[in-house]
Amino acid sequence: MAQSIADRRDQEFVLHEMLDASTLANHELFEDFNKKTMDMVLSEARNLAVKELLPINKDGDEQGCTLENGNVRIPESFHRAYKLFCEGEWLAMCDDTQFGGQGMPQVLATTAGELFTGANCSFLMYPGLTHGAGKLVEAFGTKDQKERYLKNLFTGKWAGTMCLTEPEAGSDVGNLATIAKRNEDGTFTIIGNKIFISGGDHELTENIIHPVLARIEGAPAGTKGISLFLVPKYRLNDDGSIGQANDVVCTGLEKKMGIHGNSTASLSFGSKENCIGELLGKENKGMKAMFVMMNEARLGVGMQGFGFATASYINAVNYAKERTQGTDLLKIFDKDPKPVAIINHPDVKRQLISMKANVDGMRALIYYTALCFDKVKIAETKEEKDKYDGLIELLTPIVKAYCTDRSFEVCTQGVQIYGGYGFIREYPQEQLLRDCKITSIYEGTNGIQAMDFLGRKLGLKKGKPIMDLLGEINKTIEAAKKTDGLEIMAGKVELAVNKLGEVAMHMGMTAMSEKVLDAFATAHPFLDATGDVLMAWLELWRAVVAAPKIEKAKKKDVAFYQGQVKTAQYFITWVLPATMGKMEALQGNIPAIMEMPDAGFAG
Query: Treating both helix axes as pointing N-terminal to C-terminal, what angle do 382-418 and 346-378 enclose, rounded to 10 degrees?
Result: 160
Whether 425 shows a pLDDT value over 90: the answer reads: yes
Can you tell me the mean pLDDT for 515-526? 96
Helix (H) or strand (E) run with residue 140 in it: helix 121-140
Helix (H, G, I), strand (E, B) or coil at 449: helix
pLDDT at 170: 67
Can you tell me the mean pLDDT for 220-244? 94
pLDDT at 154: 96
Q: Does domain 8-154 have CATH number 1.10.10.10?
A: no
Distance of CA 125 to the CA centre of its chain: 11
- Whole-number Å distance between alpha carbons of 511 and 410: 32
- Whole-number Å distance between alpha carbons of 210 and 206: 13
Whether 1 shows a pLDDT value over 70: the answer reads: no
- In one-letter notation, the amino acid at residue 579 is T
Residues written for the chain: 603
Model confidence at 100, pLDDT cuts 50, 70, 90, reads confident
- Whole-number Å distance between alpha carbons of 26 and 28: 7
Residue 442: how many CA atoms within 13 Å on its side-chain side?
22
Whether 30 shows a pLDDT value over 60: the answer reads: yes
Contact 217, 181 (CB under 8 A): yes
Contact 197, 237 (CB under 8 A): no
- Whole-number Å distance between alpha carbons of 43 and 20: 18
**Angle CA 155–161–167, to nearest 5:** 175
* Bridge partners, residue 216, by sequence: 180
Whole-number Cα distances in Å, 104 to 97, 108, 134, 378: 10, 7, 17, 13
Model confidence at 370, pLDDT cuts 50, 70, 90, reads very high
Can you tell me the mean pLDDT for 254-279? 97
| Mean pLDDT for all residues in the chain | 95
Percentage of residues of the chain with pLDDT beyond 90: 91
Q: Which of 114, 166, 443, 539 is catalytic?
A: 443
- In one-letter notation, the amino acid at residue 552 is K
Q: What is the DSSP letter of 36?
A: H
- In one-letter notation, the amino acid at residue 455 is G
Contact 205, 86 (CB under 8 A): no
* Pairing assessment for the beta strands 339-341 and 324-327 based on DSSP bridges: antiparallel
Can you tell me the mean pLDDT for 561-579? 98
- Whole-number Å distance between alpha carbons of 34 and 592: 55
pLDDT at 168: 80
393 carries an active-site annotation: no
Contact 414, 312 (CB under 8 A): yes
pLDDT at 496: 98
Whether 2 shows a pLDDT value over 60: the answer reads: no
Can you tell me the mean pLDDT for 63-79? 95
The residues, ordered by sequence, that sit 6+ positions from 190 with a Cβ below 8 Å of its Cβ are: 178, 179, 180, 212, 214, 229, 231, 269, 270, 275, 276, 277
Q: Taking the C-alpha atoms of 138, 148, 159 and 253 in order, what is their torsion angle to the nearest 10 degrees?
A: -110
Full 3-state SS string of 254-278: CCCCCCCCCCCEEEEECCCCCCEEE
Can you tell me the mean pLDDT for 498-526? 95
pLDDT at 491: 98
Whether 603 shows a pLDDT value over 70: the answer reads: no
**Angle CA 190–256–7, to nearest 5:** 110
196: left (phi over 0), alpha (psi -120 to 50) or beta: left
- Whole-number Å distance between alpha carbons of 364 and 18: 8
How do residues 53-68 score in pLDDT, each as one tens digit? 999 999 999 999 999 9
- Whole-number Å distance between alpha carbons of 476 and 176: 46
Surface-to-core class of residue 548, CB atoms within 10 Å of its CB (0-12 exposed, 13-18 middle, 19+ buried): middle
How do residues 316-337 score in pLDDT, each as one tens digit? 999 999 999 999 988 888 888 8
Residue from 387, 531, 536 nearest 473 by CA: 536
H runs (alpha helix) in 516-591: 516-521, 523-546, 555-570, 576-586
Whether 4 shows a pLDDT value over 90: the answer reads: no
How do residues 198-215 score in pLDDT, each as one tens digit? 999 999 999 999 999 999
* Pairing assessment for the beta strands 276-279 and 188-197 based on DSSP bridges: antiparallel
Model confidence at 589, pLDDT cuts 50, 70, 90, reads confident
pLDDT at 441: 95
| CATH class of the domain at 160-285 | mainly beta
Q: What pTM was computed for the model? A: 0.96
pLDDT at 33: 97
Where b means 16+ CB within 10 Å and e means fewer, 68-87 reads eeeebbbbebbeebbeebbe
pLDDT at 232: 98
Whole-number Cα distances in Å, 469 to 450, 497, 514: 18, 10, 29
Contact 110, 366 (CB under 8 A): yes
* Pairing assessment for the beta strands 208-216 and 159-160 based on DSSP bridges: parallel
Query: Treating both helix axes as pointing N-terminal to C-terminal, what angle do 523-546 and 487-511 enclose, rounded to 10 degrees?
Result: 160
